[in-house]
Structure formats: C-alpha cells, structure tokens
Amino acid sequence: MIRHPLQLAGETVLPRAATRRPTEAPGLVDSFGRRHNNLRISVTDRCNLRCTYCMPEEVTFRDKRELLSFEEIATFVEVAASLGVNKVRLTGGEPLMRKELHKLVRLLVAIAGIDDLGLTTNGLLLADHAAELFDAGLRRLNVSLDTLNPDRFRALTRREGLDRVLAGLAEAKRVGFAPIKVNAVALRGFAEHDVVPLAQYCRAHGFELRFIEYMPIGADSWERDKVFFAHEILDLINREVATVVPVPHDPSAPAQDYAYTDGGGIVGVIASVSRPFCHHCNRLRLTADGKLRNCLFALEETDVKAYLRATPPQRSAIATALRESVWAKWEGHEINAATFIKPQRTMHAIGG
C-alpha cells in the first residue's frame, strides 16, 4: 500500500534511497535510508484491562496455539540481531499474562547483539513477577498508568486495579529496576486532571513520567479534539509542578525529555500526533501470532510464523522477510491527513 508522502510545515521530505534493493542494503534499511535497530515484540493479545483507547470491551482472543512460543520468538530475535537489531521491547496485550515470561527474558538477554531489553506492562501483575524478571536480566521497565484517581482508573480501564499497579511499581523499585518509566496516555477530559498528580507522584518516587498523545489505534472513534497535546501538558507542568527545560534529544527516540530545573528528575512527551517522528523511525514490530509490521499503523503484514515453525526454522527466509518488510516501509503514518486509514488490528493486538 503506497501512501502520499507526509510533510509537515517546515520539515523536509526524505529523499528515497532508490538505488539499492532490499537484499543489497546492509542491515535493515528502508528505501528512505532509515536504519532499523528497534524491535517491539507482542507476546500475547490477551489483557486483564480494557482501556477504552486501546481495545474493545468484547474481544475474541487468539487461540494460544497461534501464538509464537518463546523458542520461536528467540529464533526470530537471533535473525533480527544478525541484521543489526540491538533493542527489543516486550509488550502485548498484557505481557505479564504470558506465563513464565522471565524464561523468555533469559533467552533474549543471552542473544549476541541484544544490549537493550525492555518490558511495557500495565503493572497489575508486576508485584508478583518483578523479582523473577529482574533476576532473569530485565532492567528496563515501562509501567502504564494514566491516573491516580480510582474512579478515572475504572472509567479508563473498565476494570479495578489501581492499588495493584501502585504495589507493582513499589515492588519493581524495591527489586532494583532503574530507570522505571511511567507511561500515561494524554486524553482530553482526563489528562487535565491527571498530569499534575502523576508528575508529583513520579517526582516523589523517582520514576520518569512519559505522556503519549492519544493515537487513532484503539477501538473507539478517534478525533483530534480528544488528544491532550504535548504543549498543553508542558504548560500545566511548568505552571503547577516546576519549570522544565528540554534535554538533548536522540531524533530516533519518540520521546522528547524535559528536566525539572529544581533537580526533580525527567518528564517526557511523545507527540505522535502533534509532532510525528516518522522521519527518524527505527522501529519494527512482531505480533504475538507471528506477523511482521513495519509501522504501528501499517495496513499490511508479513507472516513469518511458517518460517519459524519449519524444522529447522528457515532463517534465511526470515531475514529476507525482514529486509523486504523494512524496505517497503512508507514515509509516515499520516494520522493528520484526510487519507489516513486506521488499521484493523487495535493496539492490544499489535503491541504498543
């Protein structure tokens, strides 16, 4: 699927590096010259919450036999690492709903070339699993938490569980995770009330808070008016928490971080809607059922499960699929354009 190029005012459009074919390019480079080293792996589409911005209340989860085994995931990561991937993040659905996730962590930290392994979780089961994940070698942890208010937690997640998330964060800190990042989706109607308490809570506990602008990837109908924008978040923080200043930025990192000038730590914003970072994107995704996606908003996928389930696994076919998928990546997601088409899979089934 080819889309019209995304171009924001004041930004240059990347020229296509059209002279090379995918199999000739070193590593995972797309036709705009973007090198991909960052892989997000969904380990399940199941979840114990039903966040309104992410998934529908009623959902049929995939049969567990459709999900990649830990060994299949590790084989995929070995091939990806041989092509230059060094950063891996486990996600879902809720990754801690996958039994014995620490065993996958152990397999992945042992893979040559993987030097950065992270996990994104809603934190509900974290108190039970933090120690075994840490022992297995996991160090980077993002916990999603949009509000400290029990009523708004219930309204957003359609479930109970705020206390368990807070207990999970405390246990993760106790066992030694650092840094611990807290991810909050910035949704108008909620964020106005939650930005300041979340910022104060994270400052008090030494967590790095990150706001993510609400994106059109859930089950709900999305409108731009429902996004609480990064500049509004920063205004609130500057006005009601403490002054912040931008810290030097790695352009391929989606978050722009800000430091509190009083030494209170870091707060970040991921401005996916108001300031897309597609031009520097270095990410690709593997879904729990073995589909390769070259963009969160991709409308096409490449199935690699059959290659992983062959005996022995077809590593060169996986490498070719990876190269071709990356090469075919479009320039940008076009959330802001009239031509934007929302993918059929909602966030929980892709892996955020």
Output 87 or 348, the one with its CB closest to ligand SAM. Answer: 348
Give least dist CB 269 to ligand SAM, A.
Answer: 12
> What's the length of the chain?
352
Q: Is-contact 30 36, C-beta < 8 A?
A: yes
Taking CB under 6 A as the criterion, the residue among 29, 107, 347, 350 binding ligand SF4 is 347
Angle subtended by helix axes 70-82 and 315-327, to nearest 10: 60
CA 189 to chain centre: 23
| Contact status: 94 vs ligand SAM (CB under 6 A) | yes
Spatial CB neighbours of 221, under 8 Å, sequence gap ≥ 6? none
Q: How many residues sit close enough to ligand SAM to count as binding (CB under 6 A)?
A: 20
| Contact status: 88 vs ligand SF4 (CB under 6 A) | no
Taking CB under 6 A as the criterion, the residue among 6, 29, 54, 126 binding ligand SF4 is 54
Output 52 or 256, the one with its CB closest to ligand SF4. Answer: 52
| Contact status: 49 vs ligand SF4 (CB under 6 A) | yes
Output 37 or 122, the one with its CB closest to ligand SF4. Answer: 122
| Contact status: 44 vs ligand SF4 (CB under 6 A) | no
Give least dist CB 169 to ligand SF4, A.
Answer: 14
Positions 120 through 159 that interact with ligand SF4 (CB under 6 A): 122, 144
Q: Which of ligand SAM, ligand SF4, none binds 83 (CB below 5-8 Å, type-dependent)? A: none
What SS3 class is residue 3? coil
- Residue carrying the six token digits 């933090």: 130
Q: What is the CA radius of gyration of the chain?
A: 20
What SS3 class is residue 64? helix
Q: Which of ligand SAM, ligand SF4, none binds 50 (CB below 5-8 Å, type-dependent)? A: ligand SF4
Cα–Cα distance measured from residue 115 to residue 103, given in angstroms and rounded to the nearest whole number: 17
List C-alpha distances in Å: 266 to 277, 322, 350: 20, 35, 28
Residues in the site for ligand SF4, rule: CB under 6 A?
A: 47, 49-51, 54-55, 92-94, 122, 144, 347-348
